[in-house]
């Protein structure tokens, strides 16, 4: 026979079908976040490319609550502005003075007429998954609870509210760390700050809260005992994975949560067929897409809207921010931002592709190459030590080592246009605006200031002159002079044989 509902101790592990509708969700995010010691509001710090509050709101939104409210207070303007961008339907509740979590809920319920179930959670627990919340809702509604508290067993419960149960496993109260005697501090089951309530019961109970505690605040946690005293059914429900409920109060917890999120994201990619050589040093934003059979080498960071095609090779030590990488391309020890790398193209080692770079299929941006705002045609190569800025390069073209696209005259930027199958000699300076026709060549070391027609050779450097015997006359006694003499040179400036 099934256990009586009130004694259900933990979440069930079966998948939730989210059959139960959630009328209201309230996210508490008015706190100061002082322990972050930051000018940035706590919930606007980033984890895996998304703010902490963004993680919370996107998981809660998956439950499709009828109304989603966020309680804001400290740094209200910047928090609201951010949330409006990521979740336009959120209703903001302003808690002018931070008088505790119970006060925050009083304010959030003040004008709320809706009946039904409300989910309450904090804006600083970014690892909570919607699947867990859905299971929590299932257990809460199946057990017909008036209030359910999601709890967790923490290896180190310091700082959290402790769950006090009786022998029948029923929750009696939540005791805050600062109010807890030593024997309560020994309890390792903590309040995660995630609750489900019957809205009417909660409204009645929060109205009665008192601030007779060590922090002089209205504790939301005190409603548990009150709801029980009023005949409501309360249950503490243990989550399966405590790491999901970790809260962020300082930078060390931020890093701890970021590492857990990193592992979670990497795991998903690996399960989907992406080869990640060292998941502990590979950081992939939640927004990044990677096709199967791509390989990511260690110490790489894939960020923003980056998309990686199948069989691509990324890293080691590569940063890609908003980069589209085609299938079978490789990007090694390089930094690329806001650009496109075609299928089969190769980048690096040690290259920097800046915004607006569009590297065509099978093209190459080799070692120590910087490119910005340029289109490089199919199969064209920039193999070594070059700067390419504001250029349009056709297909099958080769840019010799140490070529510079001189795009900046000190005031304005200018464009360079290069055709198909062009051969730019090493160390060419292409002084923009300038245009090189299809199949043209430039002589190594040229400073090209005028257009070169198709098929022509642009030669723009002084003709070479050899001053014979110079070393023997001007540097006599040096090793160079000795070996030159041995090689048949003499002091005369006359042309020998």
Q: Are the C-beta atoms of 74 and 108 separated by less than 8 Å?
A: no
Chosen residue from 65, 100, 157, 247 binding Ca ion by CB under 5 A: 247
Q: How far is the CB of 56 from ligand UD1 (least distance, A)?
A: 9
Per DSSP, what are the bridge partners of residue 162?
175, 190
- Name residues whose C-beta falls within 8 Å of residue 474's C-beta, 6 or more positions apart in sequence: none
Q: How far is the CB of 293 from ligand UD1 (least distance, A)?
A: 41
Q: Which helix (H) or strand (E) holds 195?
A: strand 189-198
Q: How far is the CB of 353 from ligand UD1 (least distance, A)?
A: 40
Per DSSP, what are the bridge partners of residue 70?
27, 92
Concatenated DSSP letters of 104-119:
HHHHHHTT----SEEE
| Alpha carbons 406 and 434: distance in angstroms, whole number | 10
Does residue 328 interact with ligand UD1 by CB under 6 A?
A: no
Q: Which residue is nearest to ligand UD1 (CB)?
A: 161
The answer for 108, left when phi > 0, alpha when psi is -120 to 50, beta otherwise, is alpha
Which residue number, 191 or 318, has a Cβ lying nearer to ligand UD1? 191
Does residue 126 interact with Ca ion by CB under 5 A?
A: no
- Interacting positions 63-82 with ligand UD1 (CB under 6 A): 71, 73
Which residue number, 247 or 326, has a Cβ lying nearer to Ca ion? 247
Does residue 379 interact with ligand UD1 by CB under 6 A?
A: no
Does residue 189 interact with ligand UD1 by CB under 6 A?
A: no
Concatenated DSSP letters of 240-289:
S-GGGG----SHHHHHHHHHHHHHHHHHHHHHTT-EES-GGG-EE-TT-E
Catalytic residues: 384
Which residue number, 50 or 307, has a Cβ lying nearer to ligand UD1? 50
Q: How far is the CB of 156 from ligand UD1 (least distance, A)?
A: 13
Chosen residue from 122, 128, 337, 448 binding ligand UD1 by CB under 6 A: 122
Per DSSP, what are the bridge partners of residue 276?
296
Stretch that binds Ca ion, among 139-147, 179-187, 247-255, 424-432 (CB under 5 A): 247-255
Q: 2 exposed, middle or buried (CB, 10 Å; 0-12, 13-18, 19+)?
A: exposed
| Size of the chain, expressed as the number of residues it contains | 497
Chosen residue from 16, 59, 101, 148 binding ligand UD1 by CB under 6 A: 101
Stretch that binds ligand UD1, among 28-36, 356-364, 445-453, 455-463 (CB under 6 A): 28-36
Chosen residue from 24, 31, 209, 266 binding ligand UD1 by CB under 6 A: 31
Q: How many residues bind ligand UD1 (CB under 6 A)?
A: 28
Chosen residue from 47, 70, 90, 220 binding ligand UD1 by CB under 6 A: 220
Residue 188: half-sphere exposure toward Cβ, Cα within 13 Å: 5
Residues within the interface to ligand UD1 (CB under 6 A): 28-31, 71, 73, 95, 98-101, 103-104, 122-124, 160-161, 174, 176, 190-193, 219-221, 247
């Amino acid at each position: 026979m099934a256990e009586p509902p009130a004694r259900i101790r933990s979440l069930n592990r079966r998948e939730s079908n989210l059959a139960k509708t959630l009328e209201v969700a309230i996210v508490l995010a008015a706190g100061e976040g002082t322990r972050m010691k930051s000018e940035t509001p706590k919930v606007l710090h980033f984890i895996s490319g998304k703010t902490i509050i963004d993680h919370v709101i996107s998981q809660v939104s998956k439950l499709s609550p009828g109304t989603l409210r966020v309680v804001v207070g400290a740094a209200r303007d910047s928090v609201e502005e951010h949330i409006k961008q990521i979740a336009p339907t959120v209703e903001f509740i302003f808690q002018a003075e931070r008088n505790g979590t119970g006060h925050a809920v009083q304010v959030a319920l003040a004008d709320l007429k809706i009946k039904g179930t409300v989910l309450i959670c904090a804006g600083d627990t970014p690892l909570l998954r919607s699947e867990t919340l859905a299971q929590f809702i299932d257990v809460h509604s199946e057990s017909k609870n008036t209030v359910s508290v999601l709890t967790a067993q923490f290896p180190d419960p310091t700082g959290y509210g402790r769950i006090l149960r009786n022998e029948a496993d029923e929750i009696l109260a939540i005791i805050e760390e600062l109010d807890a005697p030593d024997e309560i501090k020994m309890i390792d089951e903590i309040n995660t700050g995630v609750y489900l309530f019957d809205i009417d019961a909660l409204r009645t109970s929060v109205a009665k809260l008192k601030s007779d505690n060590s922090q002089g605040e209205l504790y939301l946690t005190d409603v548990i005992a009150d709801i029980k005293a009023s005949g409501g059914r309360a249950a503490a429900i243990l989550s399966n994975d405590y790491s999901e409920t970790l809260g962020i109060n300082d930078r060390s917890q931020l890093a701890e949560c970021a590492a857990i999120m990193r592992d979670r994201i990497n795991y998903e990619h690996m399960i989907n067929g992406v080869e990640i050589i060292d998941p502990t040093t590979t950081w992939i934003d939640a927004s990044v897409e990677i096709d199967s059979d791509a390989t990511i080498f260690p110490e790489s960071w894939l960020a923003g809207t980056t998309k990686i095609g199948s069989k691509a090779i990324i890293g080691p030590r590569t940063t890609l921010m908003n980069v589209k990488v085609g299938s079978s391309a490789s990007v090694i020890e390089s930094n690329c931002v806001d650009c496109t790398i075609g299928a089969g193209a190769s980048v690096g080692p040690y290259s920097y592709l800046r915004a607006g770079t569009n590297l065509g299929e099978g093209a190459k941006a080799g070692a120590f190459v910087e490119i910005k705002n340029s289109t490089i045609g199919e199969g064209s190569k920039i193999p070594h030590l070059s700067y390419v800025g504001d250029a349009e390069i056709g297909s099958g073209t080769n840019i010799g080592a140490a070529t510079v696209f001189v795009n900046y005259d000190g005031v304005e930027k200018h464009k360079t246009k290069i055709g198909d199958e062009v051969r730019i000699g090493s160390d060419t300076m292409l002084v923009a605006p300038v245009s090189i026709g299809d199949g043209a060549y430039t002589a190594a070391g040229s400073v090209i200031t005028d257009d070169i027609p198709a098929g022509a050779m642009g030669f723009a450097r002084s003709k070479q002159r050899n001053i014979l015997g110079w070393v023997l006359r001007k540097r006599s006694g040096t090793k160079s002079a000795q070996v030159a003499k041995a090689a048949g040179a003499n002091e005369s400036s006359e042309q020998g044989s």
